């Protein structure tokens, strides 16, 4: 969530309209974007914050192979941060 990420690190976010939730679109979008960043944008790490209470998004991260990386407070708000590295993505794709 920092303004500047190290080279090869991408900080992303997604949002879905209420009527699109619960249909697998978020999981598909996250998987496609993650794969594209590793394959075409020289990503080494992809990370994203979410609200600790957002169980649906936390589940999506886990299903796509991301791991909980920690938490942070920004502008007085608590976030949990998920991330996936290139080696983990490649191992997941190969497995």
Its pTM surpasses 0.75: yes
Domains of the chain are 9-94 (3.40.630.30)
pLDDT, one tens digit per residue, over 40-94 is 999 999 999 999 999 999 999 999 999 999 999 999 999 999 999 999 999 988 8
pLDDT, one tens digit per residue, over 13-23 is 988 888 888 88
Residue with tokens 């944008």: 41
């Amino acid at each position: 969530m920092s303004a500047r990420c190290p080279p090869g690190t991408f900080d992303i976010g997604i949002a879905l309209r209420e009527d699109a939730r619960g249909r697998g679109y978020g999981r598909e979008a996250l998987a496609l974007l993650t794969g594209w960043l590793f394959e075409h944008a020289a990503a080494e790490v992809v990370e994203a914050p979410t609200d600790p209470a957002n169980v649906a998004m936390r589940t999506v991260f886990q299903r796509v192979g991301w791991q909980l990386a920690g938490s942070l407070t920004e502008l007085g708000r608590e976030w949990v941060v998920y991330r996936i590295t290139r080696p983990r993505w490649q191992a997941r794709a190969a497995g």
